[in-house]
Amino acid sequence: MNVSLLLVVVIVTALAFDFTNGFHDTANAMATSIATGALRPRVAVLISGVFNLAGAFLSTEVAKTISGGIVDDKALSSTGVNGTAIIFAGLVGAILWNLVTWLIGLPSSSSHALFGGLIGAVWVVLGSKAVHFDKVLSKIVVPALISPVLAGIIAAVATYGAYTLTRRAGKRTSTTGFRYGQTISASLVSLAHGTGDAQKTMGVITLVLIVNGDQTKFSPPVWVILAAGLAIALGTAVGGWRIIRTMGKGLTEIESPQGFAAETATTSVLLASAHLGFALSTTQVASGSILGAGIGRRLAQVRWNIAERMALAWLFTLPVAALVGALAVKVANRGNGGVVVVGIIALALAGLVVLRARRAPVTARNVNDSRDVPLRQQPELASV
C-alpha cells in the first residue's frame, strides 16, 4: 500500500465519522427499550455496541454501493485530481452535520449526511457528471421515501396485533413478556444497524484506497471491515443520550408491546435492504417504526410537531451536508496545507459543539426524564 499522510488523515476522518454515526444512531436501536424500562441505559448501549460490531461482518453489499455507485471513482482517480482531499471534505460535511443535530437532540440521517457531503465535494471539483444521480435516485432517494412508510405500516399492524392477542393475559403479564422480547428485538436492530451503517464507512475507505491506487476491487478488505465495525461499536457504546430522549420520549409514550413491534419492524426492513444494497437511513426507518407503533395503539398520543421537525431535518440533511462539503473542498483541494486548515476548523467547530452540549447535558441518569422539563433544570452531569 502506498501510504501517505493524507491517506492516513482521510482514513482516520472516515473512522471519526463512523464513531459519530454510532452515538448519533444508538437511539434507533435502544431508545424504545430504554424508554419502556426493558433495559437499563448503560446496559442497552453496551449491548448495542457489541451487536453493531457483529453486524459489520454480515454483508458488504452497501459498501460496494458506496465505493462504486454514488460517485465516479475513475474521475476521482484521474490525473491532476486530488480525489483523497475531495473525499476528506465530504466527510467533514457529514461529521459537522451529525454533531449539530446531536446537539439539538434531533434524529437525522448520518447516511444522508455522508452522501450529501461527498456529492457536494465531488460536484464542485469534477462537475455533476462525476455524480451518478441515477444511482442516488434508485439506491438512496426512493428507498428513503418508501422505507419509513413501510416500517411504520409494519409496526402499526404488529402493535395492533400484539395488544389484541395479549388482551386476556393482563397488562402486567404481557408487559413482562414483551420486555424480555425487547432485549432480543433491540439487539437485532443493533445487528442490522451495524450491517447497514458500518458498511457506509467501509465503502468510503474502500473508495479512498481505489482513488489512491491501492485497490481495484469495490469489496472492502478485512481490516477495513474490522476498523469500521469497531469505530461504530465504540460510538454506539458511548450513547447519544440527547437523541435517545427524543426517540424514546418525544414522538410518543412507548409501552413494551409497542417497543417490541417497532424494533421488529425496523430490523426486518434494515436487514432486507442491506442485502439488496440499498443504503437506507436507519434513523428514518426507526422513526417510521416508532410512529407506526404509536398509531397502532388505541388512545396513544403521537406528537406530530416533533415528527414534523424530524422530517424537516431529513429534508435539509443532504443539501446542507453537500453545502458544507462544497465549501470545505474549496480549501482542502489546494493541497496538504488546505487539508490541514479544514481539519483545524472542523476540530474547532466540533469542540464548540461539545462545550455547548455540556451546558445542558443529557446522560444515562436523566435520559428518561420528561421532555416537558427544560434541560437547564436537569441535574448538571457531564457526559455525552
DSSP track, 242-280: HHHHIIIIISB---HHHHHHHHHHHHHHHHHHHHHT---
Q: Of 31, 111, 101, 105, which Cα lies nearest the Cα of 290? A: 31
Of 14-18, 199-203, 325-329, 368-372, minimum mean pLDDT range? 368-372
Q: Whole-prediction pTM value?
A: 0.84
Neighbour tally for 136: CB within 10 Å? 18
pLDDT > 60? residue 83 = yes
**For range 294-301, the mean pLDDT:** 75
Q: 131 has which bridge partners?
A: 71
Distance of CA 370 to CAs 46, 71, 115, 361, Å? 24, 44, 34, 14
- How many domains does one find in the chain? 1
**For range 112-138, the mean pLDDT:** 89
pLDDT more than 90, % of the chain:
25
Which residue range forms the structural domain that includes residue 212? 5-367
Residue 297 belongs to some domain of the structure: yes
Residue 384 belongs to some domain of the structure: no
**For range 26-41, the mean pLDDT:** 84
**For range 12-27, the mean pLDDT:** 89
**Residue 39 — φ and ψ, nearest 5°?**
-135, 140
pLDDT > 60? residue 381 = no
Residue 214 belongs to some domain of the structure: yes
Single-letter amino acid, residue 359: R
**For range 167-192, the mean pLDDT:** 82
Q: Do 250 and 70 touch, CB atoms closer than 8 A?
A: no
Residue 173 belongs to some domain of the structure: yes
Residue 53 belongs to some domain of the structure: yes
Show the cell assigned to 329.
Answer: 473542498
Residue 154 belongs to some domain of the structure: yes
